[in-house]
Amino acid sequence: MNPDDILAVFNHWKAIMGHTRARLDVKRAQCIRERLRDGYSVDDLQLAIEGNAASAWHQGENDRRTVFDSLALILRDADHCERFMAMGETARKMIANMQKRQEIEAAKEAKGPPTEEEKAKVRELLKSVRLRRVA
């Protein structure tokens, strides 16, 4: 077992959850090691951490107003790990979509309104599409 893998997962958890004072103890190292032994990759475990961070309920928006973000919970067993990984995948997709939308909007703003030449090209393309449909 590569100690760098355990440290990478632990440091990711600290950074994502904001637990800057947390220390890697035996219990935390053991839960990471167990999931790595089960065949999960470092990226899988980091994805599970991100999934927990993306869950409003686990971040305190629950009836107890309590945050449930311990590494022991996230990596408790395969079921927990996979559930949080699925949440992480959803969160990553949403972030990627938001970034694409922002890039498209930024490009539109930087480019400005279409020129007359660009409008003419679009009209010609639309005309050719209409002709193909009729034919």
pLDDT tens digits along 97-134: 889 888 888 887 787 777 888 888 888 888 776 655 54
State yes or no: pLDDT of 95 exceeds 50.
yes
Which pair of structure tokens corresponds to residue 4? Answer: 């760098």
Can you give the residue ranges of every domain in the chain? 3-134
Residues 6 or more apart whose Cβ sits within 8 Å of residue 80: 48, 73, 74
Please name the residue ranges forming H helices in 1-135: 3-17, 26-37, 42-54, 71-74, 78-111, 116-134
pTM of the model: 0.77
Give, to the nearest 10 degrees, the angle between helix 42-54 and helix 78-111: 80
- CB–CB of 51/91 below 8 Å? yes
